[in-house]
Amino acid sequence: MIEPDPAAGPVRRFRDASYRPRAANLAEIRSQIDRIDAAIIALLAERASYVKDATRFKRDAFQVSAPARQAQVFARVRELAHRANPGFEGFDDVVEATYRTLVASFVAGEGRHFDATEPL
Q: Are residues 17 and 24 in contact, defined by beta-carbon separation less than 8 angstroms?
A: no
- What pLDDT, in 10s, does the model give residues 39-69? 999 999 999 999 999 999 999 999 999 999 9
- The domains located in the chain, with CATH, are 26-115 (1.20.59.10)
* pLDDT tens column, 72-95: 999 999 999 999 998 999 999 999
**pLDDT at res. 106:** 98
Tens-digit pLDDT profile for residues 89-108:
999 999 999 999 999 999 99
Residue 28 burial by Cβ neighbours in a 10 Å radius (0-12, 13-18, 19+): middle
Does the reported pTM lie above 0.85? yes
Confidence bin at 18 (pLDDT 50/70/90): very high
pLDDT value at residue 103: 98
